């Protein structure tokens, strides 16, 4: 569905903002297995802090549900030359990149032992998300490696939910939650289409006149 490509891009974006070598980052698929990972990797011992967990909303919103040209007759690509422009010599195969717009929501949970450390992480993420919101998504289907640029939008609310005690951290800890979403995301489809050519012989003058009259009468 291409959702995993956004997960990877968002994770890499956030990872680039983390300067603390001791901070562990969990990507969406790891966060969904957070309790299982604790048991398997730590022999039922709590995870160490600081920790940042990225999770994705379970519901993906489809923004347009009606058939449109972009859903079945999108941008023409070729595996070798990238974009195919009108007037170019047609390749033997082409790839229409079809899209359906969607909205994806994400959440960042920041866990630290003390409030001041968590506060610094929150400040850093807020400034980076607002000032550097672009995310590059690479679509590898059929080797086209098409790059799409999306934008992340920070939710206006920051939630301090440190009072929620979890088994992962039995002692005192601080947790802040940031939410953001990508509303210019797409589901991508890139099927390979075999192109065919039709060669026509030269028309004589009578055929051309007849053809012209027929086209005009049909118009």
pLDDT at residue 83 in the model: 52
State pLDDT tens for residues 39-63: 455 555 556 789 999 999 999 999 9
Residue 189 sits in a domain of what CATH number? 3.30.2000.10
Which distant-in-sequence residues (6+ apart) come within 8 Å of 181 by Cβ? 103, 104, 105, 106, 152, 153, 155
Structural domain boundaries enclosing 47: 3-218
The radius of gyration of the chain's CA atoms, rounded to the nearest angstrom, is 26
The number of domains in the chain is 1
State pLDDT tens for residues 88-131: 555 566 777 889 999 999 999 999 988 999 999 999 999 999 99
Q: What is the pTM of this model?
A: 0.75
């Amino acid at each position: 569905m291409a959702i995993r490509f956004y997960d990877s891009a968002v994770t890499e974006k956030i990872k680039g903002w983390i300067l603390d070598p001791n901070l562990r980052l969990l990507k969406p698929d790891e966060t969904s297995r957070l309790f299982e990972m604790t048991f398997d990797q730590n022999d039922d011992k709590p995870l160490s802090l600081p920790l940042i967990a990225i999770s994705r909303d379970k519901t993906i919103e489809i923004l347009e549900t009606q058939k449109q040209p972009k859903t079945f007759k999108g941008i023409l690509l070729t595996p070798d030359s990238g974009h195919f422009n009108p007037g170019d010599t047609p390749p033997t195969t082409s790839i229409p990149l079809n899209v359906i717009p969607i909205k994806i929501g994400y959440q960042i949970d920041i866990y630290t032992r003390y409030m001041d450390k968590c506060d610094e992480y929150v400040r850093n993420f807020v400034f980076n998300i607002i000032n550097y919101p672009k995310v590059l998504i690479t679509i590898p289907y059929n080797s086209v490696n098409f790059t799409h640029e999306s934008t992340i939008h920070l939710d206006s609310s920051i939630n301090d939910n440190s009072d929620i005690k979890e088994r992962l951290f039995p002692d005192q800890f601080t947790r802040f939650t940031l939410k953001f979403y990508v509303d210019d995301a797409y589901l991508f489809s890139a099927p390979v289409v075999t192109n065919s050519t039709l060669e026509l012989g030269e028309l004589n003058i009578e055929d051309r006149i007849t053809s012209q009259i027929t086209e005009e009468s049909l118009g």
